Amino acid sequence: MTKSHIQITLIQIDNYGPWTRRLGPDREPDLQILQSKLYAEIQRLFSLKRGFVFYGRFDNMLAVTNGIDVNVHRKIQERICERFPITISLGIGAGVYPTEAQEKASRVLQDQGGSQLEERRKVLAVDGQLPSTLDGLVQIAHIDVNDSTSKITDTIPAYNAFTTMLKVHDILAKEFLSRNALVFFAGGDNFLVVSNGLKEAEYDQVLKCVSGQLHLSLKAGIGRGRSAVEALSLASRALDKIRSSKGNESIHILSAPLVDN
């Protein structure tokens, strides 16, 4: 396998729709509590192994899992199934681009039967060969809206501040998807973009697209590492570099030592 593969895991609650309906009409607050606790525990278990989980739809989450092998996936799955009233299935895939990896992770699980099939439980499906610890690459951009506190949070009503972020998300998701990258909202004015293979000029095009449509300026700190946690940490440091450049920079890339193309 060449060196630049990203590994993505789909985490799917088994038979969730039928299970939720059995809880009766008062279920919604309990389901929200369950979903947040499940996300918290899954994030804890994967990030201990230097992976990172995006909550996505909550019933279907995507994780960047470079360096996490099938056995560790199985242990995480077992722990979740022991501690929660639901079970989860996992699909793992790898590819040069994040879109390719998540498509493979989805397909390999979908091939085992539908998410609401009573007998499809605790599946762990792997698409082909996975990159080894030293064999992969994770590139993540941390995108932040400039001056969101003064322009949005402290100025317009809270709901409008929230829908502004949905609009930013919408443009980012469309533009990055056409470049094979996946965008996730991370809270506040922050977006995380799993974006292996993207060059600085492409991030620049996307940021300009948002500022052209919404009159908001953005910055992107980009990290490249062997694991999701390493890439995120470098992305965060890259954002700090942009902040300390006092407006001279809007994109900064930091790579871990020994990470090449």
State the residues that interact with ligand GDP by CB under 6 A.
144-149, 186-190, 236
Q: Which is nearer to ligand GDP, 22 or 246 (CB)?
A: 246
Q: Which is nearer to ligand GDP, 114 or 187 (CB)?
A: 187
Dihedral (CA of 206, 56, 144, 225) sign: negative
Per-residue exposure over 156-179, b if at least 16 CB sit within 10 Å of its own CB, e if not: eeeeebeebbeebeebbbebbeeb
Residue 20 interacting partner from Mg ion, ligand GDP, none (CB closer than 5 to 8 Å by kind):
none
Q: Which is nearer to Mg ion, 78 or 147 (CB)?
A: 147
Q: Which is nearer to Mg ion, 145 or 228 (CB)?
A: 145
Name the residue number minimizing CB distance to ligand GDP. 188
CB 121 within 8 A of CB 14: yes
Q: Does 250 engage in binding with Mg ion (CB under 5 A)?
A: no
- Give, as ranges, the residues between 13 and 52 that touch Mg ion (CB under 5 A): none
- 128 CB-near residues (< 8 Å, 6+ apart): 93, 94, 104
**Helix 158-177, helix 200-214: angle, nearest 10:** 140
**Closest Cα to residue 20, out of 123, 91, 114, 116?**
116
CB 61 within 8 A of CB 55: yes
Q: Does 145 engage in binding with Mg ion (CB under 5 A)?
A: yes
Q: Which is nearer to ligand GDP, 96 or 161 (CB)?
A: 161
Question: Residues 148, 164, 180, 196: which binds Mg ion (CB under 5 A)?
Answer: 148
Residue 100 interacting partner from Mg ion, ligand GDP, none (CB closer than 5 to 8 Å by kind):
none
Residue 189 C-beta: closest distance to Mg ion, Å:
4
Burial class of residue 198 (count of CB atoms within 10 Å of its CB; 0-12, 13-18, 19+): buried
Residue 28 C-beta: closest distance to ligand GDP, Å:
25
Q: Does 189 engage in binding with Mg ion (CB under 5 A)?
A: yes
Residue 244 C-beta: closest distance to Mg ion, Å:
15
Q: Which is nearer to ligand GDP, 20 or 146 (CB)?
A: 146
Q: Does 236 engage in binding with Mg ion (CB under 5 A)?
A: no
Tokens of 97: 């681009």
Q: How many residues bind Mg ion (CB under 5 A)?
A: 4
How far, in whole angstroms, is CA 17 from its chain's centroid? 23
Looking at the DSSP assignment, which residues form a beta bridge with residue 255?
A: 224
The residue ranges that bind Mg ion (CB under 5 A) are 144-145, 148, 189
